[in-house]
Amino acid sequence: MGDERPIVLVTGSSGFIASHVISTLLNNGNYRVRATEKSLADVDAVEPVKKTFPDVELFEGDLSKDAGWKEAVAGCTYVHHIASPLPDLTNQPKGKEADEIVRTAVDGTIRVLEACRDAGTVKRVVLQSAISAISNGMRGNSKSKKDHVYTEADWTDPDEKTCTPYEKSKTYAEKAAWDFVNKLDDEKKFEFVVLNPAAVWGPVIYPRKCSSHELLVSVLTRQFPSVPDISMPIVDVRDVARAHLEAMTNEQAPGKRFVLWSDTVALIEVAKAYVEEFKSQGYDNIPDSVMGKFLLWTASLAKPGAKFCYSLLGVHLIYDNSKMKNDLHIEPLPWRKSAIDSAYSFIEAGLVEKKPGYKGQEK
């Protein structure tokens, strides 16, 4: 007798978050898992997926093309759409390149949803959006009060001057998705859930860097002489993966957005945690003082990363994660665990040099 477990599709298989969603689904054991990658000829992207998850069936699915999506979705009961263009967050593109990021995110999302509509087997779709579609990323909406608590009712204003191409892409793509789903004929409807995670920290599964880890790596490897005085709203990738599973199966989830947020963390607190954890293991050059505003401004004139940090000065965003806790039953992991586990995974994966005094993480 054949395998009758429901088939679950995860788009963007080589991505940081997608890797954890695939792992969580496989560990659950109740599903057959397939995934898409932009190009199956891209060895650097595909080989880590095949090596890590040999039981996952891979399909080609390019967000900018129609080909492949019908085949990838055929027979699926659930779809997690995670794939999305991700430019360097510290050095956002401009002009036609910026427009292309927005267009690909929107058109790609609609391509996936059209395939789900046409398949006739899809029960529920979980779309991963981001806080980029809620609070203008990590800067906050200029029209909101300083002490505003962001909820699922908030939306980024893409017309704000500070709104980046990435933030626009997530906002327009999510709005297009809601519009598409709400206009479906009754006989074509499927259940729909959106997740809006903050900046995602946590251990890597594939040995490759991702944008949400850039600041953590910069602290651990002392890319700044001191630490920019900024704070970041974060969530652990393992909580995001758990949220995907809950959003797929939870009866209270359909028709809702969910903010995924654990805490808003000052980068200097991360640096102090790294000094405490890693100084005795040979990482004795971690910065432990706050960079002055003038020095950061000076650095921002030449370095995109510093310019990005300068834009976050004085911003400390707070979110209401009660729906995450109450509806999805997820109590978020502490930020310190996310930061420490991230750093150990960077070292183990070879993304950060392993010092002679390195002892590894205690189990």
In a domain, 281, yes or no: no
Residue 286 lies in a domain: no
| Residue of higher predicted confidence among 98 and 346 | 346
- As a whole number, mean pLDDT of residues 21-39 equals 97
- Whether 89 shows a pLDDT value over 80: the answer reads no
Residue 298 sits at φ, ψ, to 5 deg, of -60, -45
Q: Write the CATH number for 34.
A: 3.40.50.720
pLDDT beyond 80 at 1 = no
Please state whether beta strands 191-197 and 257-260 pair in parallel, antiparallel, or not at all (unpaired).
Answer: parallel
Q: How confident is the model at residue 152 (pLDDT cuts 50, 70, 90)?
A: very high
Considering the domain boundaries, does residue 121 fall inside one? yes
Q: Per-residue pLDDT tens for 169-183?
A: 999 999 999 999 999
Q: Which two tokens stand for residue 60?
A: 């080609």
Identify the residue with better confidence: 3 or 39.
39
pLDDT of residue 132: 95
For 136-148, letters b (16+ CB in 10 Å) and e give: bbbbbbeeeeeee
The percentage of residues in the chain with a pLDDT greater than 70, rounded to a whole number, is: 99
- Let me know: does 206 contact 52? Beta carbons within 8 Å: yes
By the 8 A CB rule, do 309 and 300 touch?
A: yes
C-alpha to C-alpha distance for 356 and 198, rounded to whole angstroms? 35
**pLDDT average, residue stretch 123-129:** 98
The confidence score (pLDDT) of residue 319 equals 97
**Predicted local distance difference test score (pLDDT) of residue 91:** 66
Q: Please tell me whether residue 300 adopts helix, strand or coil conformation.
A: helix
Residue recorded with tokens 């939870």: 250
Q: Is 93:133 a contact under the CB 8 Å cutoff?
A: no
Contacts of 320 (CB under 8 A, 6+ apart): 149, 150, 151, 152, 259
The HSE-up count of residue 38 (CA atoms within 13 Å, CB side) is 14
pLDDT at residue 302 is higher than 70: yes
pLDDT at 90: 65
Which residues span the domain enclosing 39? 7-202+234-262+317-332
pLDDT band per the 50, 70, 90 thresholds, residue 76 = very high
Domain count, the chain: 1
Mean per-residue pLDDT, 330-343: 98
Tell me whether strands 263-266 and 199-201 are parallel, antiparallel or unpaired.
unpaired
Q: For residue 135, is it within any domain?
A: yes
Q: Which residue has the higher pLDDT, 153 or 212?
A: 153
What whole-number distance in Å separates Cα of residue 341 and Cα of residue 326?
26
Look at residue 45 in the predicted model and tell me its pLDDT.
94
pLDDT more than 90, % of the chain: 80
